[in-house]
Structure 1
Amino acid sequence: MPVAKEVLEIAEKIRNMEIRGAGKIARFAAYALQIQAESSKAPTVDEFWKEMKKAARILYETRPTAVSLPNALRYVMHRGKVAYASGADLDQLKFIVINAAKEFIYNSERAIERIGEIGAKRIEDGDVIMTHCHSKAAISVMRTAFEQGKDIRVIVTETRPKWQGKLTAKELASYGIPVIYVVDSAARHYMKMTDKVVMGADSITVNGAVINKIGTALIALTAKEHRIWTMIAAETYKFHPETMLGQLVEIEMRDPHEVIPEEELKTWPENIEVWNPAFDVTPPEYIDVIITERGIIPPSAAIDILKEEFGWALKYTEPWED
């Protein structure tokens, strides 16, 4: 059951964060399944489906926190599973899997545009916005508002230890948006000049809690203290279906060498541990609204999105496990 070389390369890039950002990870995961289906030389339907499940399993195991990845895999593999169980022939099954992958990628890209259109309505002329990490959905809100002629400035936090804030600052600046780049610990200091906070999400739970890059919760808490709106921009495939069944979201712990270079860490005392959580959890009471491609909802409405989008997923084992 060979897995295509390109699929293994994509999986490795997701694992080591060459491919990062929940939406980008999801699109690449779907694209990897498309590549597997297109390149498969399996002679039978059964062998083809085994190859697809193996590829999906490899992709699934790369990053445990960003639910966009398994949701992308579910979108493609569930449709393939239904076709496989219904007796589709090899060509039909390949077509369904490839088409589902392309459909997911298109819908994901369109969702970002739609979130920008909806979210920009909540941005006012003259607003100073604070953002954290690198979120295509959050950037879409700010870019759309700016392109509508609204005079905005954006405070971008550096987002250590991987410095995703640099990506955000450069991207916003490329659109002509004035940017102020600050260290993470300066967020509270500059909150007093901030009008709104706009951030993305890696996962959203059934109660509306947001899992996003480490530091998000502190910024949301500071905004709450200053009575400043915190808006989360997130596609519906970032809502976490398993949290409806009580599953807790695993917070990914990454290599300590991302925080302290390996050579430097060798000289440190042995009784110093370096912990490097990639994400934190922002309670729903610190969030004012969540902007999705379906519209703006309060955190308490997360369960409605989950039931509508992923209710079917709770009735089955994962398509790559059975």
Structure 2
Amino acid sequence: MSELTPAQLKAQKKAAKAAKRAASKEASGQAPTRDPREAKKEQQQAAAKEGGSSSNTGNNSNNTQGGSNQSSASASSKEDRTRASRPALFGHLEKAGKVTAADAGKDVHPEVITLALRYSSYQIVGSSDRARTLLQAFQRVIADYETPEGTTLSRNLTTHLGHQIDFVISARPLSVSMGNAIRWLKQEISVVSIDMSDQAAKDMLVEKIDEYIKEKIDVSGSVIVESAVNDIADGDTVLTFAHSEVVENTFIAAHQAGKRFKIIVVDSRPLHEGRKLARDLSARGIECIYILVSALAHVLDDVSRVFLGAHAMLSNGALLSRVGSALIATAAKRKNIPVIVLCESMKFSDRVQLDSVTLNELAFPEMLANTYISDKKKLPEDKAKTSLKYLNLCYDLTPAANLTKIITELGHLPPSAVPVIMREYKSAYTM
């Protein structure tokens, strides 16, 4: 047997002495006592497991550490409560964030900060509007940009824009149209010649952004409106859901063309986007009926066609749009009512999705919790925290089988033509 080391011999003697003291006290009828140092060590270990620090260490640095641990534990507990308030099945989804100007880094442009705050508060919600305002903010960023020494604009500007994009994403996940616009812009920056002066390059990029907005948003929308007007006839009752800019412009153009028709605007909480559409159309003299989605079954028998806007058209022909669109399309399909989608090609995505669970966006749960019941009182907060789980989805998925056709600036297409169009025009869309 190998000899014990000095440390092992010392520990052995210490244990023998402790056992001898315990035996002596037990023989005299006294309760055995523990080594104060051992008791103190165990106390500190127990406190560390609970996320705090020992209050009797007498060391200022340890006290500071304990406060930090308690703050971390508090933040972790808050996050756990937030997660617990959502159904576990949807815990992986992206969600909007509550950002402030203080959350922005030093490289984030003031124009981008203002825009991100508007996204976060849902003041700008339309997919086309979000893409347009983002590109316009990037114009200001590019105009104020100065290339650091030792690098070139084509290399550094992309990194600088990355800081702006990260802050926008922290406020709210990007839409498909915004993602396509960002990829296009990065491609344009990458091909800027290193021989071009910075000012000339910035002027060129600002001009290209103007061209993109005009071609992909403004002109595309105008072409869709001119084409979609032909699908509205005198005496029609057209149903639409929430609010879409291109759908609203189609109704206005049809009314200006002298067609007599009626609009049923179906709306849902919490955003109630259809209120603005109904208010604007009725102000122009168009006959409107405003209902909530719960009353859909009572009006479908009078509907001749359904017009829907789009957040995105996916590669498998499915429609990703404001939550509730799938319900309306399915109900219309069962009654053989044509469902027509108005969608600019900049909203086409090469993504394939079969349900609304895999990829979606979660809005703030407070938008559902802070609702009023019949006696004008808010839901009790204690019950909201303990017995309710919030699921405030932004979008749902409508299968291609429930859609009649898609009207884009490229013409009237069946949903199955989406991947064909994307292959033919991929270089233009920069997917």
Give the TM-score normalised by the residue count of structure 2.
Answer: 0.67
- Offset, 1:15: 2.8
8 Å contact kept, 2:339–2:404: yes
Q: Does 1:19 align with 2:134?
A: no
Q: Which of 383, 401, 411 matches 1:268?
A: 383
Instruction: Pick one of 160, 172, 178 that aligns with 1:69.
Output: 178
Aligned to 1:305: 421
In structure 2, C-alpha distance between the alignment counterparts of 1:137 and 1:249, rounded to whole Å: 28
Q: CA RMSD in A?
A: 2.3
Judge conservation of contact 1:77–1:97 (CA < 8 Å) in 2. no
Residue of structure 2 equivalent to 1:172: 281
Q: Give the TM-score normalised by structure 1.
A: 0.89
Number of the residue aligned with 1:238: 347
Matched, 1:282 2:398: yes
Residues 112 and 89 from structure 1, CA distance in 2 versus in 1: closer, same or farther, beyond 3 angstroms? same
Q: Deviations over 1:191-233 (max 9, x none)?
A: 1111110010001100110010110000000100111000011
Alpha-carbon distance, 1:172 to partner = 1.5
* 2:202 aligned partner: 94
Flag the 1:204–1:52 CA change in 2: closer, same or farther, 3 A.
same
| 1:232 alignment partner, SS class | strand
1:294 aligns with 410
Distance in 2 (alpha carbons) for counterparts of 1:131 and 1:297: 20
> Which residue identity lines up with residue 167 of structure 2 in the other structure?
I
When structure 1 is superposed on structure 2, of 259-268 and 305-314 the one drifting more is: 305-314
Number of equivalent positions: 311
Alignment-derived partner of residue 254 in structure 1: 363
Q: Using the aligned pairs only, state the percent identity.
A: 26
Is 1:30 the counterpart of 2:139? The answer is no
Match of 1:157 among 260, 266, 285: 266
Preserved contact between residue 108 and residue 167 of structure 2 (Cα < 8 Å): no
Find the counterpart in structure 2 of residue 39 from structure 1. 144
Structure 1, unpaired ranges of 5+ = 316-322
1:208 corresponds to: 317
Unaligned residue ranges in structure 2 (runs of 5+)? 1-105, 372-377
Say whether the 8 Å CA contact 1:68–1:203 is kept in structure 2: yes
Higher-Rg member (1/2): 2
Q: Which runs of 4+ in 1 moved over 6 A?
A: 312-315
Cα deviation, 1:59-118, whole Å, max 9, x if unaligned, reads 35544362111112222222112226x654322331232122211221211211111100
1:270-316 Cα offsets, whole Å, 9 max, x none, are 1221211011000000000111111111100011222233357778x
Structure ranking higher on relative contact order (CA contacts 8 Å, 6+ apart): 1
Displacement of 1:250: 2.1
Matches of 2:244 and 2:370, distance apart in 1: 26
Return closer, same or farther for 1:54/1:135 CA change in 2, 3 Å cut-off.
same
Matches within 5 A, 1:52-201: 52-60=161-169, 62-64=171-173, 66-83=175-192, 88-107=196-215, 108-201=217-310
- Is the CA contact 2:142–2:202 (under 8 Å) kept in the aligned structure 1? yes
